[in-house]
């Protein structure tokens, strides 16, 4: 019932780690280290996409000390070790072990939030479960059941029953004989009604106090009396659990409206609950019946979507509580625009900045980002509100050293918190008392405000709001806000009031944590600290490009290199915290030839060339405060002249490159057309239009009195533009005032062209009047008319009907009525391809035709509203095989559609299937469900399908083409497999594989050989070991002498190229995520191999000295578990070849581009101290190192030539250059066709919102009985 209950709605956002808003994605990089714990000193849990319900329940269990400590008491001797979980016969209780690890991280690790990915993996969940929302009440029962099953046979077998088990007894009393019939029920949680009651006590009374009477027509059959009698029925609690869990039935079903709804009315519950009235025995001490509330799981949203978070009582006082009154006023008031002025009057900027930095945490924030956070929180920028009174933000922070603390050499700032400890341990009582006094220590000048903060006794236990990764303190009175509304209480957790915690547990997060977990967390903290230190260093180094003034010349309104770009530009790496003076000193050290003054000016590359902007004069100013960022361009010169020309710097003198169109008249057919001459001119932004007009008159030879300048103006309908002439008053305006920018086109015309109705630029018509034009070409054939192939121009407006255009075209083409029966109009794209016919009832605007579009008058009827016009071809090469057309009904099945296409293509047989095409017009998704209709599989009008040969495998199975892959071997190993290869080749010839169906011939790709040996159909649940065994049963391979499957290597093949080795013999094939088009290659080995996930297989090629060629490749296995950098790879290679480190060069080969990329870790020195960039992994950009990659090696001792290319590379590059133009045109045509089809039919598609299917929640547990 609740499978999709929490599907996301528009009004209720689901909190996720990857938040998206208005198409903007978080810019946080994967390389960023996890932040420190927040000010509360409590850790949150990351949301995996839909696991807020899991996070809330896990935090509740963590802050149930008795549950947590009972779980920690189970050692490895009972649960096993996680390192043995993949061993076949070992029985490791993974779920409790992962739960222990997660609890330890939440208690001790110095990170803002922990991840539950390992725990959910132990549940057997995939990405679908992790991103789907479920009911937390359902999860509570399933998780307890999974824990009970996991702990069978251990000392913790009764953990759940001991803490949460209770008993309800139902009694029926006969009023005649007094016989009592009892039925006892066990429970782990109580479910109580919300509808019709005002609170928890009333709901419990309804269930466990009030009696139900059987009388009148509703009598009870008594077993003793053996007849129908009057009776009473009641329920009582016979045994109360230590922890009482209560689920509120917030979600109901309205049978009148046939829809779900959420009960949002007021429903109160007490902080202390007395269960005596609801129990069978009432003679026990009061302490046995009293319960204290310690957790409330809250649901925000409706019945179809929402978000969970939890209010939890910190019983062991592990967190640091502080008042949020002032912060709430600062942050939340910014959400209301009417309170903006009041917000800024609350206090000086010290308090505002303090509130922001306290929320960020002790790690602080970059000074550059603090201004942005201020803008996000309060809606006003520092420069706009405070700069005039308090000066720059950095100087303001520096003037308050008693409040703000600078870190990382001044790059980061945080609140000065001398009395807080975020090492993962609870501070002592004096620190708690000071922390609870206010958010952070303030300056002496603000002591009066500090006294106003509420002081909390150290013995009092406080509440916190656990909202995924965020944990913030709340007050107990805030719980009352969750009595009603869309955000309200959903589950309640009570504990017996008599439970007392030992004194040593107070404030001690290490209490009862096993030593092995303490050691693991210590290692984790050390790793996080190292990551943060490396990140802090890496984020402050950036590159700047120095353009040297003596190497430049001023030409055509901008600066250009006098010789080559290489000689005029110098790139250096420098710390962003350095000053302009430091940068100047570094440049002086690099440029020993420099004489005289040195001026540093910010510059920017424009289409016209390089232009100068702001000059930096103050040497003590830091680089980042000036806005200098990574990749910035700085111009180094004397400050006066460049190449003898005085320079004008600033935005007003910015050069602007404009395209000028000058028309010349010509005639074509019946229409007067204009052929354009295109030229480029550079003007500055402050150039007046009148001055630019005089310059253009000299360039074009047109008299200034007759010259008219036009600009493009967009019409209301997208895609259409008109040329509009500038007025005489515009002559006194600058080009910037006229909103011209780089790359804009203006039309310069003589008066004699002003009356033309159509102008053509590069073959595309441009309207200068209120009417547009379309061209219609006759495709009806020579037999029908002598005008076949003739093109006519039809004047239209955007509201002209297609039927009117068709009638007008038939009239101009002088076709007879009987010749045009059954004709239609079809748009023609830029490559000349005919698009699907358009409905004659639509207008030009309705089908999205643009000015100058071409239509074809084509024989055939326009498809009806229930029909689809489809393209299809046979085979996966759309560019080589002819494309055919067919009209089918939307309601037919995929199988019927395939049958019709096969008949039209004159193909026979049953082993065919259909595929869609992807965005680049290649074979894409397989239409697996052949019984589904075309509408069900979302086939749209004008779509292209591909008929592929081959039978579809059953559901859950994979059909994998198998290739025999053997790279060229060196002379020592060549003879080992020669006989086997010849044997396989002979068998392939005997089986008569034909290349027309699939290219089974030898493939030379990167020097590798591929032979197709057949197909394997195998279950996705099978292992890699099963796949290897089944491959060896193929007829072609049965004669091979393979000692064991360890002598067989399996590759994933893409585009007939091995790209990745499949590892781990016991891994299920489904874990490799092989798609429907996946192919594999097998390679015979000379020795057993069992590669791990941290081992990379490369192919080394040593260059032949003095020749542009290489020796045969050698396989090279590299362990990247510790490091995957260029320096480490070089060290491994020199050990392999016994060469000195400084005397080799290596490069990676990119076979698809026939390019070698030099691999070097050298960086520019900017001072006497060597500054290094952060070492990047070779598996990332730009090398993307993977299995099978070729690494070229040059020995510089005997070969000084560092060019890695070969003659084969030169030939390949030339072929790519010749094929490039046609390939680009083909790709552009495909994209245009897809765009035209989508635009033509966009408005015809209904927009319907579908909900995700209901999926039951489950946790997989092994059998430990």
- In whole angstroms, give the CA distance from residue 649 to residue 630: 22
Give the SS3 label for residue 440: coil
DSSP state of 169: E
DSSP state of 480: G
DSSP string, 1059-1115: EEE---TT-BGGGGT--TT-EEEEEE-SS-----TTEEEEEEEEBPTTSS-BPPPEE
Rounded (to 5) percent helix, strand, coil in the chain: 30, 30, 45
Query: Using CB atoms within 10 A of its CB, is residue 1073 exposed (0-12), middle (13-18) or buried (19+)?
Result: exposed
Residue 80 region by backbone torsions, left for phi larger than 0, else alpha for psi between -120 and 50, else beta: left
DSSP state of 622: B
Catalytic residue status for 732: no
Cα 193–Cα 194–Cα 199 angle in degrees, nearest 5? 105
Contact 326, 478 (CB under 8 A): no
Catalytic residue status for 221: no
- In whole angstroms, give the CA distance from residue 390 to residue 806: 72
Instruction: Return the biggest CA–CA distance within the chain.
Output: 123
Place of tokens 């008569």: 992
Q: Can you list the alpha helix ranges (DSSP code H) found in 456-514?
A: none
Cα 38–Cα 44–Cα 47 angle in degrees, nearest 5? 130
Crossing angle, helix 349-360 and helix 325-332, to 10 degrees?
100
Cα 505–Cα 57–Cα 120 angle in degrees, nearest 5? 110
Strand partners, 198: none
Query: Using CB atoms within 10 A of its CB, is residue 287 exposed (0-12), middle (13-18) or buried (19+)?
Result: exposed
- What are the two backbone dihedrals, phi and then psi, of residue 839, each rounded to the nearest 5 degrees? -70, 135
Question: Which H or E run includes 555?
Answer: strand 552-555
- In whole angstroms, give the CA distance from residue 693 to residue 731: 8
Place of tokens 């924030």: 365
DSSP string, 286-307: GGGTEEEEEEEEEEEEETTEEE
| Sequence-distant (≥ 6) Cβ neighbours of residue 496 within 8 angstroms | 240, 242, 243, 287, 288, 290, 291, 292
- In whole angstroms, give the CA distance from residue 1059 to residue 1053: 6
- In whole angstroms, give the CA distance from residue 44 to residue 42: 7
Q: Which entry of 36, 134, 299, 307 is annotated as an active-site residue?
A: 307
Contact 1069, 1111 (CB under 8 A): no
CA 708 to chain centre: 51
Q: How many residues does the chain have?
A: 1265
Contact 573, 1162 (CB under 8 A): no
Q: Which entry of 36, 52, 222, 446 is annotated as an active-site residue?
A: 52
| Sequence-distant (≥ 6) Cβ neighbours of residue 103 within 8 angstroms | 62, 68, 71, 72
Q: How many CB atoms lie within 10 A of CB 783?
A: 7
Active-site residue numbers? Answer: 52, 307
């Amino acid at each position: 019932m609740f499978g999709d209950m929490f599907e996301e709605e528009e009004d209720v956002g689901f909190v996720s780690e990857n938040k998206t808003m208005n198409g903007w994605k978080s810019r946080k990089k994967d390389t960023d280290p996890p932040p420190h714990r927040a000010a509360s000193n409590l850790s949150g849990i990351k949301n995996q996409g839909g696991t807020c319900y899991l996070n809330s329940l896990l935090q509740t269990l963590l802050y149930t000390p008795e549950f947590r400590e009972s779980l920690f008491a189970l050692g490895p001797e009972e649960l096993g070790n996680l390192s043995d979980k993949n061993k076949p016969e070992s029985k490791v209780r993974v779920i409790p072990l992962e739960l222990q690890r997660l609890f330890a991280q939440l208690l001790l690790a110095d990170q803002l939030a922990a991840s539950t990915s390992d725990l959910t993996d132990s549940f057997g969940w995939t990405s679908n479960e992790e991103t789907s929302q479920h009911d937390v009440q359902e999860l509570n029962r399933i998780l307890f059941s999974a824990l009970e099953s996991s702990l069978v046979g251990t000392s913790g077998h009764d953990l759940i029953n001991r803490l949460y088990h209770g008993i309800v007894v139902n009694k029926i009393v006969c009023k005649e004989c007094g016989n009592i019939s009892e039925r006892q029920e066990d429970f782990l949680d109580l479910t109580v009604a919300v509808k019709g009651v005002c609170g928890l006590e009333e709901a419990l009374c309804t269930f466990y106090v009030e009696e139900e009477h059987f009388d009148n027509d509703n009598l009870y059959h008594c077993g003793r009396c053996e007849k129908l009698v009057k009776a009473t029925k009641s329920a009582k609690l016979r045994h109360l659990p230590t922890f009482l869990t209560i689920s509120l039935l917030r979600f109901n079903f309205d049978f009148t409206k046939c829809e779900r709804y959420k009960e949002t009315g007021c429903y109160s519950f007490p902080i202390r609950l007395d269960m005596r009235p609801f129990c069978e025995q009432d003679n026990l001490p009061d302490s046995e019946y009293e319960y204290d509330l310690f957790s409330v799981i809250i649901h925000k949203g409706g019945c179809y979507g929402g978000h969970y978070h939890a209010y939890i009582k910190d019983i062991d006082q592990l967190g640091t509580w502080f008042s949020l009154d002032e912060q709430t006023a600062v942050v939340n008031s910014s959400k209301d625009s009417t309170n903006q002025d009041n917000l800024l009057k609350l206090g000086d900027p010290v308090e505002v900045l303090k509130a922001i930095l306290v929320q960020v945490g002790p790690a602080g924030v970059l000074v550059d980002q603090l201004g942005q956070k201020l803008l996000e929180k309060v809606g006003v920028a520092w420069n706009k509100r405070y700069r005039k009174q308090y000066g720059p933000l950095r100087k303001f922070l520096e003037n308050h050293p008693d409040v703000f603390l600078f870190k990382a050499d001044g790059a980061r700032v945080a609140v000065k918190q001398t009395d807080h400890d975020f090492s993962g341990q609870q501070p002592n009582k004096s620190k708690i008392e000071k922390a609870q006094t206010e958010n952070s220590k303030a300056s002496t000048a603000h002591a009066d405000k500090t006294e106003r903060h509420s002081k909390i006794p150290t013995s009092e236990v406080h509440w916190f709001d656990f909202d995924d990764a965020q944990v913030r303190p709340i007050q107990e009175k805030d719980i009352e806000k969750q009595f009603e509304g869309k955000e309200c209480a959903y589950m309640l957790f009570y504990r017996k009031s008599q439970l007392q915690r030992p004194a040593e547990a107070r404030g001690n997060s290490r209490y009862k944590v096993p030593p092995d977990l303490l050691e693991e967390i210590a290692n984790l903290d050390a790793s996080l600290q190292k990551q943060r230190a490396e990140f802090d260093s890496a984020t402050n180094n950036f590159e700047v490009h120095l353009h040297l003034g003596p190497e430049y010349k001023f030409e055509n309104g901008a600066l250009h290199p006098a010789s080559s770009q290489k000689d005029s530009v110098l790139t250096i790496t420098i710390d962003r915290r350095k000053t302009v003076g430091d940068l100047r000193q570094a440049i002086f050290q690099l440029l020993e030839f420099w004489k005289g003054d040195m001026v540093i000016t910010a510059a920017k590359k424009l289409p016209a060339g390089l232009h100068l902007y702001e000059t930096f004069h103050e040497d003590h100013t830091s680089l980042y405060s000036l806005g200098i960022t990574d990749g910035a361009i700085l111009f180094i010169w004397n400050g006066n002249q460049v190449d003898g020309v005085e320079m004008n710097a600033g935005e007003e003198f910015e050069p602007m490159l404009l395209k000028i169109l000058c028309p010349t008249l010509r005639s074509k057919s019946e229409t007067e057309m204009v052929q354009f001459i295109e030229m480029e001119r550079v003007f500055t932004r402050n150039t007046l239009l009148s001055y630019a007009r005089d310059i253009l008159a000299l360039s074009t030879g047109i008299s200034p009195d007759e010259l008219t300048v036009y600009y493009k103006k967009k019409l209301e309908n997208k895609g259409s533009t008109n040329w509009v002439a500038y007025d005489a008053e515009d002559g006194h305006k600058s080009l910037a005032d006229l909103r011209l920018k780089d790359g804009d086109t203006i039309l310069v015309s003589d008066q004699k062209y002003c009356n033309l109705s159509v102008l053509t630029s590069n073959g595309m018509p441009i309207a200068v009047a209120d009417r547009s034009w379309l061209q219609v070409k006759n495709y009806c054939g020579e037999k029908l008319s002598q005008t076949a192939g003739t093109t006519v121009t039809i004047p239209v407006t955007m509201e002209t009907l297609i039927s009117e255009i068709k009638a007008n075209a038939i009239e101009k083409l002088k076709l007879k009525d009987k010749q045009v029966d059954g004709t239609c109009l079809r748009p023609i794209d830029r490559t000349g391809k005919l698009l699907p016919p358009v409905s004659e009832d639509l207008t030009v605007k309705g089908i999205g035709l643009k000015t100058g579009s071409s239509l074809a008058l084509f024989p055939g009827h326009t498809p009806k509203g229930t029909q689809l016009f489809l393209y299809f071809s046979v085979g996966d090469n759309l560019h080589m095989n002819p494309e055919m057309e067919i009209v089918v009904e939307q309601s037919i099945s995929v199988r019927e559609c395939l049958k019709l296409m096969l008949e039209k293509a004159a193909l026979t047989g049953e082993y065919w299937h259909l595929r869609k095409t992807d965005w680049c017009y290649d074979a894409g998704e397989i239409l697996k469900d052949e019984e589904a209709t075309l509408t069900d599989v979302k086939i749209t009008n004008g779509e292209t399908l591909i008929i592929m040969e081959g039978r579809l495998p059953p559901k859950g199975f994979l059909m994998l083409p198998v290739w025999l892959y053997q790279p060229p071997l060196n002379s020592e190993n060549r003879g080992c497999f020669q006989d086997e290869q010849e044997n396989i080749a002979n068998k392939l010839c005997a089986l008569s594989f034909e290349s027309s169906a699939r290219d089974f011939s030898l493939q030379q790709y990167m020097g590798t050989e591929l032979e197709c040996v057949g197909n394997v159909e195998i279950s996705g649940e099978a292992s890699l070991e099963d796949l290897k065994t089944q491959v060896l049963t193929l007829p072609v391979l049965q004669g091979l002498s393979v000692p064991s499957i360890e002598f067989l290597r399996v590759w994933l093949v893409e585009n007939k190229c091995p790209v990745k080795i499949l590892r781990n013999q016991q891994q299920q094939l489904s874990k490799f995520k092989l798609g429907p088009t996946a192919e594999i290659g097998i390679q015979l080995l000379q020795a057993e191999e069992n590669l791990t996930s941290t081992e990379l297989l490369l192919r080394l090629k040593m260059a032949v000295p003095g020749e542009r060629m290489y020796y045969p490749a050698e396989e090279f296995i590299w362990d990247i578990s510790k490091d995957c950098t260029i320096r480490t790879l070089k060290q491994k290679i020199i050990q392999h070849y016994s060469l000195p480190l400084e005397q080799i060069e290596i490069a990676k080969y990119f076979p698809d581009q026939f390019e070698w990329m030099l691999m070097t870790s050298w960086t520019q020195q900017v001072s006497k101290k060597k500054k290094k960039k952060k070492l990047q992994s070779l598996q990332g950009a730009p090398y993307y190192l993977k299995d099978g990659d070729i690494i070229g090696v040059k020995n510089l001792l005997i070969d000084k030539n560092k060019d890695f290319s070969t003659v084969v590379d030169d030939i390949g590059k030339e072929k790519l250059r010749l094929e490039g133009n046609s390939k680009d045109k083909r790709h552009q045509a495909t994209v245009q066709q897809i765009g035209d089809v989508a635009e033509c039919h966009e408005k015809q598609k209904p927009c319907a919102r579908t909900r995700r299917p209901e999926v039951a929640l489950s946790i997989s547990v092994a059998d430990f009985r």
